[in-house]
Amino acid sequence: MYLQYMGVSNAMCGLILALRTVGEGLGNALGGYLGDIAHMRRPTDGRIFIAMFSVLVNIPFLYAIFMGVSKSQDLSAFFAGLLFTSGVFTSWEVAGCLCPVVIDIVPRRQLSSAFAWNVAIVFTSGNMIGPMLVGVTAQKIFHYKLTTESIEDMSVDMRERNAEALGKSLCFSSIVPCIISALIFTMLFCTYASDKRNLQDHEAGSDLE
């Protein structure tokens, strides 16, 4: 919807989102590769640095997408390039850190449960809390005006005000989770090495038995 408010056609919106998905796919592969390299060089925290970089670099991308542009020209190429690039650089944390770290610190017999909880939490927050937060902040804080009119039929003034309100809401609702994620990843600096060592000791003891 935000892209439509910014004057991007429906067909181009679909293409831009497809490019974003392609970028995320490449980013996952790149994140896994960089995570392995970082782990070889710094076994205790290399993967954590990869994840934190990927999460924090998302913030300027989000600001540029939702706050850094004005509808003064055709922005299709701008959004396509920016969303593709952000997909490449902001999707490293899962393949580069999260999955390998879970494997390193969770007992083998509990891996399925651990990954299931991870997927449940991610999808719950992304598909339930996220849209609700965007809707509430857009209307209550940034004064988005609900209307039955299509975007094309709105007055120029309402379209611009709604675009600004929705952009601010999306920016806020995306940057706050990035900051929270970065703070959570910093905790791994204190816990990852000891948790991994404890699991190795436990599995070694089990093998002896």
Structural domains of the chain sorted by starting position, each given as residue range(s) with its CATH number in brackets: 2-208 (1.20.1250)
- 14-23, 70-79, 157-166: the lowest-pLDDT one: 70-79
Average pLDDT over residues 177-194: 92
pLDDT of 209: 54
pLDDT of 12: 86
* Structure confidence at residue 33 as a pLDDT band (50, 70, 90): very high
pLDDT of 139: 87
Q: What is the pTM of this model?
A: 0.84
pLDDT of 118: 84
Distance CA 138, CA 80 (A): 24
Q: How many CB atoms lie within 10 A of CB 169?
A: 23
pLDDT of 162: 82
- pLDDT tens, 45-102? 999 999 999 999 999 999 998 887 766 567 778 888 999 999 999 999 999 999 999 9
176 contacts 84 by C-beta, under 8 angstroms = no
CA-wise closest residue to 135 among 144, 127, 126: 144
pLDDT of 36: 96
Q: How many CB atoms lie within 10 A of CB 47?
A: 29
Q: What is the distance, to the nearest Å, from the Cα of residue 161 to the centroid of all Cα atoms in its chain?
A: 26
